[in-house]
Amino acid sequence: MSQLSDKIIVITGSTRGFGFSLAQEMLKAGATVVISGRSQAALDKSLSALKSAGQVAGWTCDVRDEKQVYALARQVMAQFGRIDVWVNNAGYSAGGGVLMDIRPEQLLDMFLSNDMGTLYGSQAALHYMLPRKTGTLVNIYGAGSNGKAASPMGMYATTKIWITSFTRTLAVEIKGSGVNLLAFSPGMMLTDMLANPTVVGERGKQKMQNFGFVLRFLVKPPQLAAKRLVAALATNRKEFAEINVMKPWTPMLGLLRVAWENLTKTGKTPEYTLHYEEAYQPEF
């Protein structure tokens, strides 16, 4: 029997992309899954697609709104009586480009979603986990989480390094509580965020010239990362663990694979569409 069988698992931002794939894999593992998203229409569509796979429920939740996140946690407790795993997955990238070309309000909205959403979700989950002295909180890392420069994804990377610092600090503060903390970096996945990115300004266009090639040797289906996270949740016993799907040798292996595909005339560049936006011009 799976270690996740009958666990109550909440995944924010799970009506599409990695969150949806993760919900699918959690259901396969026998868990009861609660999904959430901003749109009722998207939520209903996802619930309909998942209902045949197992026990699933869902509520709308905009993680930028503290009250909505706490309401989600209360609704889960009211229906299921506990929260075993909470995954702070909700987040997005507003676009790629040079930092000085990005509209400040775009970064602010990303910070509210990616970072404040992680804070609200952590506080809501731990409010119910800590008294029980059990449970697992999962925070999602990403490009920039290691603190290295990440142009032209610097805006997104800035929000992710915040999550790294927040998560590592939280791990120290809840040590010995009985609640585990897992940080998971899924690597590059072919979700809508990468298949339909917004590119800001002329300098952004230049930096994205080789985007198709990068996708070809680095991107993976979200299902692979979802399986890896499910396996980690089923086997991890550490109070705090950081798991990175992309290893130091991953780019080299990707390049070798592409070279072989070129030689054998197999493989192709994943489909994607770049959407262009003018650079921000501040008024002085």
pLDDT in tens, 66-122: 999 999 999 999 999 999 999 999 999 988 899 999 999 999 999 999 999 999 999
**Which among 183, 187, 156, 184 has a CA at the least distance from the CA of 170?**
183
* The residue to which tokens 């990068």 are assigned: 214
* The residue to which tokens 């070809």 are assigned: 216
Q: What phi and psi, each to the nearest 5 degrees, are found at residue 78?
A: -65, -35
Q: What pLDDT was estimated at residue 241?
A: 97
Report whether pLDDT(284) > 90.
no
Q: Quick check: is 44 in a domain?
A: yes
Q: Quick check: is 253 in a domain?
A: no
Regarding predicted confidence, which is higher, 2 or 103? 103
Q: What pLDDT was estimated at residue 95?
A: 83
Between the CA of residue 63 and those of 90, 172, 228, what are the distances in Å?
A: 7, 24, 25
Q: Quick check: is 138 in a domain?
A: yes
Q: Quick check: is 273 in a domain?
A: no
Split into its structural domains, the chain has a count of: 1
- In order, the DSSP letters of 76-120 are HHHHHS--SEEEE-------BS-GGGS-HHHHHHHIIIIIIHHHH
Q: Quick check: is 176 in a domain?
A: yes
Between the CA of residue 212 and those of 41, 190, 272, what are the distances in Å?
A: 32, 12, 8
* The residue to which tokens 């959690």 are assigned: 26
**Which among 182, 186, 185, 184 has a CA at the least distance from the CA of 238?**
182
What is the domain range of residue 58? 8-190+220-248
- Confidence class for position 59, pLDDT limits 50, 70, 90: very high
> Residue 252 contacts by C-beta under 8 Å, 6 or more apart in sequence?
none
Which 8-state DSSP code applies to residue 125? H
List the CATH number of the domain containing 148. Answer: 3.40.50.720
Report whether pLDDT(245) > 70.
yes
Q: Quick check: is 139 in a domain?
A: yes
Q: Tell me the C-alpha distance between 267 and 49, whole Å.
A: 30
Q: Quick check: is 27 in a domain?
A: yes
Q: Quick check: is 236 in a domain?
A: yes
**Which among 190, 152, 187, 210 has a CA at the least distance from the CA of 270?**
190
The amino acid occupying position 268 is: K
Q: Say how many C-beta atoms besides its own lie within 10 A of residue 242's C-beta.
A: 17
Q: Tell me the C-alpha distance between 13 and 3, whole Å.
A: 24
Report whether pLDDT(43) > 50.
yes
- Give the mean model confidence (pLDDT) for residues 243-264: 92
Percent of the chain whose pLDDT exceeds 90 = 88
Of 132-141, 169-178, 211-220, give the lowest mean pLDDT range.
211-220
Q: What pLDDT was estimated at residue 267?
A: 86
Q: Tell me the C-alpha distance between 38 and 46, whole Å.
A: 12
Q: What average pLDDT is seen over the chain? A: 95
Helix (H) or strand (E) holding 193: helix 192-195
Report whether pLDDT(1) > 60.
no
Percent of the chain whose pLDDT exceeds 70 = 99
Q: What pLDDT was estimated at residue 221?
A: 93
Between the CA of residue 168 and those of 141, 147, 197, 283, what are the distances in Å?
A: 11, 13, 30, 38
Q: With contact defined as beta carbons under 8 Å apart, do 62 and 86 qualify?
A: no
